[in-house]
Every structure is written in C-alpha cells, then in structure tokens.
Structure 1
Amino acid sequence: MNLARSAVEYILTAGVFSSVYIPKWCCDSLWAPVKRMNTPIHWYNIDEHFMPVNISPCKGDLVIIINFYGLINSKLQDKLAQEYPYLLIDNSQAFFSLPQQAASTVYSARKFFGVPDGAYLYTNYRLSSPLDTDSSYRRFEYLFKRLDLGASEAYEDFKHNEEVLSKDGMKRMSKSTQAVLNGIDYKRVKMQREKNWAFLDKNLKGMNNLKKAMPPGPMCYPFMCENGNDARRFLIGKKIYVPIYWKDALIRLSPTDLEYSYVNDILPLPIDQRYTNEDMRTIVQCLEGYFG
C-alpha cells in the first residue's frame, strides 16, 4: 500500500462494518478515512497496558487497536483476537512485530526507513478491482535534501509532501519505494535498534516512569517523566529531535485521562539504525544533566 491510512480505507471498503471502535489517543490521519466514508465511530480509552477499556462492540463492528510503541506483545494480541472477531491491528509503530493471523494488520515503512511513503497490509479481505500503483519518485527529493542540507532546510518540502499525501487515494506501493525497501538489511536494522534501546534502558530505567519490556526492533525508546513537554523542549534545544504523539488527540481527551499524560509526558527518544552508542550516551548525559 502507499500509506497506512490507505490500508485502513482498504479494510473499510472491502469489509462491511456497522461501526468502528478507535482509541481516542491516535493520529488524525488514522480515522480520516473512517470519517470520509461516514462510518460511525466509537471512541475508547486505553489502560496502562495500552489495552481497550470498557468496550462492547456488536456483531459487525470493527475494532482498531494501535500497537503503541510496539508494546502490545503477541500474547496480548492473541487475547484481543479472541475477544474481537473483526480486528485491525495498527502496527505502524511496530514494524518488526509479526502479523496476527486472526486479524488484519497494518505496517508503516516510512516510520522506520528512509522512504517518503509505503505501507504493508496483511488481511483476508479483498477488493474486487485491483488498485493503481503509486508513483513516488518526486517525493524522494525532500529526503535527499535533508541528507545534503539538514532537516530544517528540508522542512517545508516535508510539509508539502505530507499535504500531497493527505490528498492521495488508495494505491499500491510505488516501484521506487519497493526498490529501496528491498535493499535494506532488516536483520542489521532490528539489531541496532534493539542495541540502542538496551543502552538507554540500562542507563535511564531508574528515571523512566514507563517501564516496559523491549519489543522486537523498537521504533523508539518511550521515556516518561513529569512535565515531559519541558524536557522535550530541553532535548530539542540540544538538537535531539523528540516528537509528540499525538497532540491532535488532546481535543478528544480529558486532562484526567491516562492518555492525556501519555501525550504530554512520553518522550519517544530516537534509537533508529543511524545512531551509535555515542549518540545514545549523549542522550543519557543530556537527561542526567536535566534531571540532575
């Protein structure tokens, strides 16, 4: 698929669902296709294990589960598949987690690798007509610009790319994106991400309010602390980019909701395959200095 949101749209189009259950804590792009197709939405909260709280879907309702930071392990996914016959697991943050056989599963390539688009969908649902193949060679320009000139110089190009993608429909993954992904050493990528997680966890676990076991090939190291946005700004000032997942969800959340603190206080520390032990040591030293 060209995008994870397209994979969601594919499921909604190929299946016949009465309504959809979606976690309040999600990116707006996830539920955009649901809204566009006028499918009724039931918003739900999650608990400290990132599992749904108090939902009772009826027959024909689709339940979407986000595998936050890859922390919903295979045993929990098996439990979910037993509870909900119509299940879609969004593994956009868990590229190296295996697909759940009894559910549809979505993966995002661009959250883990240097591609401007690309997603995978494992499902038993099928559309009657084949999808067109995407064309993405123009979208690679901002990635090359970022490599040559830095992230700040390429930011406007990135925003333009996101705007173009938001208007793109369901398509198959482009040949150029496939070619790049086919050339990746996935074993090395997974190993380096796990090595970086282990380094941060060894040094930061005592300060981390979110103590979780390492998932396979993690997207980031989720570090939770009080007044997380202040710490986030501090790290960004030290040129350590720490995103926020997802600020646009706050409109659906109450300050008393657990997810409200997750949005503001979890710092997704970078651990991807580009980074070395020295980079991880710098992050540790910055946080140790900050909390001093």
Structure 2
Amino acid sequence: MIMNKIEIGGYFHLELSRKRKKFIHDDGVLLNSGRNALEYVLSSKKIERLWIPYYTCDTILEPLIKLNIDYSFYSINQQLELYDLKRLSSGEFILYTNYFGVKDEYVKSLSEVYGDRLIVDNAQSFYSDVTAGPSYIYSPRKFVGVPDGGIAYSGLTYLDSQLEMDISFSRCSHLLRRYDEKASNGYNDFRENSKLLSMQPMKTMSQLTRALLFSIDFEQIKEIRLRNFSYLHDNLYLTNLLDLNMAFSCPMVYPYYTENALEIRNRLLANKIYVATYWPNIFQWCTTCDLEYQLANKILPLPIDQRYGFREMDIILSVIAG
C-alpha cells in the first residue's frame, strides 16, 4: 500500500507567480532578516572588534551582542562618508552603511582600502552589486512588500545547511490590510510585525517570502524608483544640503537635507505623506552638537517607490514649497 505524505486537495493558498526563475541576490545566503544576515557574516569571520557608524540603526547591535563581539563607533561627514579612514588592527573589521542607496561609488573606494575586512550594509541599497572582497548584507523588505528576509554574502556558506527554515505567515497582516484599507489603518500591524523580528534565531528565508520575491518585477521597480528620484532631484537639488549624484544602482528614498526639516515634516504629515526618521536612537547616542544628530533630525527621506509616479511627486513638491 502507498503511504502518501503529501497533502492533496483542501482550500487554496495565495496565488503567486513563479514565471521568474531568479530574483535579485538569490545567489546569496537567504535568511530570515537583515540583522540575521549580519549575524551570518559575523559568524563566518574571526572578528574581535567591529567599527560601526554612529549614524545607523540600533538593530545593528543585536547580532554583536548575541555573538559577544566588541564594537566601537566612528563618525561620518556631511557627505555621509567616513570622517577619517580608520587604521584597523588585527581582528578588526569595519561596517559601512550605503546610506539611502546613494553611496555605491564610495563603497567601491572603501573596498579598495579595506578589502575583505569591510562589511557593507546594503539594507537601503537592495540593487547594489556584490564585488569580490567585502561582505554584504541586504534587506528586501525595505524595497518591496515582503514580511521579512535578509541576504548575506560573506564568502562562506558553511552555516547554511545547519539552519532550519523560518515561517512567515504570522507577520503578513500589515501587507494584506494595505490592500483593503489605507496605510494608517495597518501601521500598528506593521510596527508589531517588525517587533517580531527582534532577537529571532538565525534561520533560512521562509518559503512564503521566497515565493513573494520570485513574483516581483524588480526591473520595473528599478525604473520607477530612478525616474521618481530624478524628478525630485531636478526640483530640489538647489536647496538640498546633500551633494547627490546619479552614480548609484537604485536608491531607497530621496534624502532631502534641509534646515527647515521640522516645519516641512509637519506639513507632509498633515497631508498624509509619511516620512521616517533615520534613526531615532541617534538622539540618545549623540549630542545636538554632533553631525549625526543633525542628519537624523534634518534629512527627510522622501518616498520615491514603485507605488507612485509624477502625480505623487508633484504633490510632495507642492507641500515642500508650502
């Protein structure tokens, strides 16, 4: 008698396209979150101390604490680059954040200096390339509607076969609600589901998140983001305190650095245009005299993503103009 172990029949699952055979960075190690992608990289190297920027999210500390790795902070300048190049001692590595996805060229220059002791945080730069030498981490949920996931490139994959696969369905409520309701109705779900990623054990990416990524047209998304970024830049570059150029793969947002940030942020919020603060923890790590404090306070990450076009960009520009 045949003892079938596969379920046949029953109710339908969510229908997702599998026409695409690849998605961006599917050749990396697919994990269950960006911070666990960093943990994977750190676990694959003999690191005694990691240099990290003050201007970064405090979630970067989670894998360092879990692995009991010492860390020190470094400062950046107004162009989001190292204030001065660190001379690394034996066992020391340095992490650099590809801010807003606009620092690809600078990442290349850092890789020439630090080689395999550079870890690039590409959470805000999903489209950026992987090159020989440095390690890289990516977080697809910063760019597309997936519940979780992280991707690591460390030169080693020995840990991959030892990890169990994650399960993601319980972290999808905010994604599903946004189809039927406005974004503000699902914001609490988004926050709660994001909290669920904290201190998660390192696992491989869930089947659901993989299926979602396979169903996405990443090339079309890239075209829309670049078009929206250029449109905002053409209208804002004269007043933007950041010196931006187009030498990058694809940005996450348009970073608008302005002394009038608080006033403009309030106007945007009043008009239901939501911009994040990257990152609130910096207000505890730094003083008001520090540049990082000013960057966190005065950079407005304007949305340019694939849901929007020139009509929405014009609305943003009109609100900024007052």
Give the deviation of 1:229 after TM superposition.
2.3
Q: 2:102 pairs with 71, 91, 111, which one?
A: 71
In 1: Cα distance, 2:99 partner to 2:140 partner: 16
Query: 1:203 is matched with which residue?
Result: 235
- 1:31 is paired with a residue of what secondary structure? helix
In 1: Cα distance, 2:43 partner to 2:254 partner: 35
Quick one: percent identity of the two aligned structures? Answer: 36
- 1:154 is paired with a residue of what secondary structure? helix
- 1:53 is paired with a residue of what secondary structure? coil
1:113 maps to a residue whose letter is: V
- 1:171 is paired with a residue of what secondary structure? coil
Query: 1:141 is matched with which residue?
Result: 173
- 1:153 is paired with a residue of what secondary structure? helix
Is contact 1:4–1:108 with CA below 8 Å preserved after alignment? yes
Query: 1:11 is matched with which residue?
Result: 41
Please say if 1:51 is aligned against 2:62.
no
Give the deviation of 1:165 after TM superposition.
1.1
Aligned-pair Cα RMSD in Å:
1.5
Unaligned runs of 5+ in 1: none
- For residues 21-66 of structure 1, the C-alpha deviation after alignment (integer angstroms, 9 at most, x for no partner) is 0001111111211123221111000123322233222121121110
Query: 2:18 is matched with which residue?
Result: none
Is contact 1:91–1:97 with CA below 8 Å preserved after alignment? yes
Query: 1:109 is matched with which residue?
Result: 140
Q: Which runs of 4+ in 1 moved over 3 A?
A: 126-129
Greater Rg by CA: 2
Please say if 1:91 is aligned against 2:122.
yes
- 2:204 is paired with a residue of what secondary structure? coil
Please say if 1:2 is aligned against 2:32.
yes
TM-score by length of 1: 0.94
Give the deviation of 1:147 after TM superposition.
2.2
- For residues 265-285 of structure 1, the C-alpha deviation after alignment (integer angstroms, 9 at most, x for no partner) is 000000000001100011111
- For residues 4-29 of structure 1, the C-alpha deviation after alignment (integer angstroms, 9 at most, x for no partner) is 10011112222111111000111111
In 1: Cα distance, 2:60 partner to 2:131 partner: 19
TM-score by length of 2: 0.86
In 2: Cα distance, 1:135 partner to 1:229 partner: 40
In 2: Cα distance, 1:233 partner to 1:33 partner: 35
Is contact 1:49–1:72 with CA below 8 Å preserved after alignment? no
Query: 1:267 is matched with which residue?
Result: 300
Unaligned runs of 5+ in 2: 1-30
In 2: Cα distance, 1:200 partner to 1:81 partner: 30
Give the deviation of 1:193 after TM superposition.
0.3
Give the deviation of 1:156 after TM superposition.
2.2
Give the deviation of 1:141 after TM superposition.
2.0
Query: 1:38 is matched with which residue?
Result: 68
Q: How many residue pairs are counted as aligned between the two chains?
A: 288
